[in-house]
Amino acid sequence: MTDDGRVEIAVKDGVGTITFFHPKSNSLPANILARLAEAVEKAGTDDSVKVVVLRSEGAGAFCAGASFSELQAISDEAAGKKFFLGFARLILAMIRCPKFIIARVQGKTVGGGVGVLAAADYAIATEACSVRLSELAVGIGPFVVGPVIEKKIGLAAFTQLAVSAWWRHAAWARTHGLYSELHPTIEEVDAAVSTLASRLAASNPEAMSRMKRTFWEGTDSWEQLLDERAAASGRLVLSDFARKAIAAAG
């Protein structure tokens, strides 16, 4: 039997903790993307949840991005667009959620996972949590996650990530605003997440909801934008270049 991963949500003292896991370095196949989006949407409408913490399991990678096996299995443009729309739905769920989302980051993050980090409102990570936008290296581009990353860190920093397609240290991500805080150890990260989440759970929900809307002003057209970007990615992933690059990387 294969482990297709899991997504769990637990609520305690006003904090809704969403935890995801996949045996391949917490990668994001379609089923995990869908479950994550559903969990975020559920937390957003749950009156007992005042703030959301998003985390992955283990002490390794926070998120390895898109599932390479699913990318290799894409056989036509419709299937390609459908896969990339999974990232679009999760990003939209996160930025539309009326509750603040804190990302708790314990390890490296690649590709689509960087878009998930950017869609969080506050990210707390260890000093070892490097990031990489790997899409160009496998023959496609960070089209679906691009808008949310660019909005979070700015065009110049996003361009650096997208063009170099290689690792950037956690300090770089902190300087450019992808991470809000860095701590030496996972234990210190957990303590910082717990402190902030508890404080926010006791804050005014209406004020936080209004603040969140201001953070994400200018994104009203993103449903159409990300739909178009998903279609473009779905076409590119079928190219001979991408096929060979993904097979070699996988």
Q: Cα 20 to chain center, whole Å? A: 11
* pLDDT tens digits for range 24-74: 999 999 999 999 999 999 999 999 999 999 999 999 999 999 998 999 999
Contact 106, 59 (CB under 8 A): yes
C-alpha distances (whole Å) from 90 to each of 40, 72, 201, 245 are 8, 21, 23, 26
221 is a domain residue: no
* pLDDT tens digits for range 4-21: 899 999 999 999 999 999
Q: Domain containing 70: what range?
A: 6-201
247 is a domain residue: no
pLDDT score recorded for residue 2: 52
218 is a domain residue: no
246 is a domain residue: no
* pLDDT tens digits for range 130-182: 999 999 988 999 999 999 999 999 999 999 999 998 999 999 999 999 999 99
233 is a domain residue: no
C-alpha distances (whole Å) from 187 to each of 5, 9, 190 are 24, 21, 5
The pair of three-digit structure tokens given for residue 74, joined into one six-digit string: 């894409």
Can you give the pTM of this predicted structure?
0.96
222 is a domain residue: no
Which CATH number does the domain housing residue 167 bear? 3.90.226.10
Domain count within the chain: 1
81 is a domain residue: yes
68 is a domain residue: yes
Give the bridge partners for 110, in sequence order. Answer: 132
